[in-house]
């Protein structure tokens, strides 16, 4: 579990945590899906020594639960019935996008929990991160199991290196980029990858032979089309060749 002090926004809400826990009312913890609201609520319930109810909006008789647990802690993303909202102190957990500085610590803690050694690829810690902490954990797990990154790393500046005057080389690069992106987004499922690319399975396997499969760790086994060979010959030839 990520410590509370590593969660997004702790620098702001952490200062008032003791006062919040001392309040006599029940506490409703909420935020965007995957923000860690349930984790925070469970920890606050432990510190208060009271009952904890997760996804309280699904409780059949929330008003009855609150009568039984007048200082209980609720965690719900979708909101509470109006009567319950009025009786609870609201405590919102910020998202990662609201506190980008928290990303590094959260990523390091999750990698430690999942047994993923560093150094981690920089793209694992980039924003936006759909799903917040849950999405960040999924990134770590997919990297651990599949070698999958959230997006392809194009270049240090994030720009496609297709400035060459040789269109064959540019086409080869873009072909590899799109193939690897489709394979990663399909989690290695080649049928789905072929559908994403709009090619047949036979065409997909030809592309994999040419560019490899980053999910399965397969290196290219084909030199590629003849146009690429000619392009490489032109690229490697001296400007003065044939004029000596």
HEC per residue, the chain: CCCHHHCCCHHHHHHHHHHHHHCCCCEEEEECCCCCHHHHHHHHHHHHCCCEEECHHHCCCHHHHHHHCCCCEEECCCCCCHHHHHHCEEEEECCHHHCHHHHHHHHHHHHHHCCCCCCCCHHHHCCCCCCHHHHHHHHHHHHHHHCCCCCCCCCCCCCCCCCCCCHHHHHHHHHHHHHHHHHHHCCCCHHHHHHHHCCCHHHHHHHHHHHCECCCCECCCCCCCHHHHHHHHHHHCCCCCCCC
Q: Where does the pLDDT of residue 29 fall: very low under 50, low under 70, confident under 90, or very high at 90 and above?
A: very high
CB 54 within 8 A of CB 43: no
CB 208 within 8 A of CB 179: yes
The yes-or-no verdict on residue 206 having pLDDT over 90 is: yes
The yes-or-no verdict on residue 216 having pLDDT over 70 is: yes
Mean pLDDT taken over the chain: 82
Residues paired with residue 218 on neighbouring β-strands, in sequence order: 213
- pLDDT for the residue 188: 78
- pLDDT for the residue 82: 74
Mean pLDDT value of segment 65-89:
84
Residue 213: exposed, middle, or buried by beta-carbon count in 10 A (0-12, 13-18, 19+)? buried
First-last CA distance in the chain = 70
Mean pLDDT value of segment 36-47:
92
Residue 211: exposed, middle, or buried by beta-carbon count in 10 A (0-12, 13-18, 19+)? buried
CB 24 within 8 A of CB 114: no
Task: Read off the pLDDT of residues 6-27 as tens digits, 9 standing for 90 and up.
Answer: 899 999 999 999 999 999 999 9
Task: Read off the pLDDT of residues 131-186 as tens digits, 9 standing for 90 and up.
Answer: 899 889 988 988 888 777 775 444 444 445 555 566 777 788 888 889 988 887 77
**How far is Cα 135 from Cα 224, in angstroms, rounded to an integer?**
36
Length of the chain equals: 244
Of 97 and 57, which is predicted with more confidence? 97
Please give the model's pTM, rounded to 2 decimal places.
Answer: 0.61
Q: Would you state the structure tokens that stand for residue 93, as one six-digit string?
A: 């957990």
């Amino acid at each position: 579990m990520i410590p509370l002090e590593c969660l997004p926004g702790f620098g702001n809400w952490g200062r008032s945590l003791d006062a919040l826990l001392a309040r006599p009312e029940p506490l409703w913890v909420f935020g965007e899906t995957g923000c860690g609201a349930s984790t925070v609520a469970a920890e606050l319930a432990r510190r208060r020594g009271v009952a904890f109810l997760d996804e309280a909006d699904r409780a059949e008789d929330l008003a009855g639960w609150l009568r039984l647990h007048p200082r209980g802690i609720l965690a719900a993303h979708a909101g509470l019935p109006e009567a319950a909202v009025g009786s609870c102190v609201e405590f919102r957990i910020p998202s990662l996008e609201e506190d980008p500085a928290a990303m590094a610590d959260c990523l390091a803690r999750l990698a430690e929990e999942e047994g993923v050694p560093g150094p981690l690829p920089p793209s694992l810690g980039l924003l936006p991160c759909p799903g917040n902490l849950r999405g960040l954990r999924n990134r770590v797990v997919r990297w651990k199991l599949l070698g999958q990154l959230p997006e392809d790393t194009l270049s240090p500046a994030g720009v496609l290196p297709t400035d060459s005057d040789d269109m064959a080389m540019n086409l080869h690069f873009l072909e590899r980029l799109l193939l690897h992106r489709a394979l990663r987004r399909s989690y290695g499922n080649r049928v789905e990858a072929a559908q994403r690319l709009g090619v047949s399975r036979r065409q997909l396997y030809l592309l994999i032979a040419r560019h490899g499969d980053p999910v399965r760790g397969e290196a290219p086994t084909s030199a590629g089309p003849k146009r690429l060979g000619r392009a490489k010959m032109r690229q490697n030839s001296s400007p003065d060749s044939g004029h000596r």
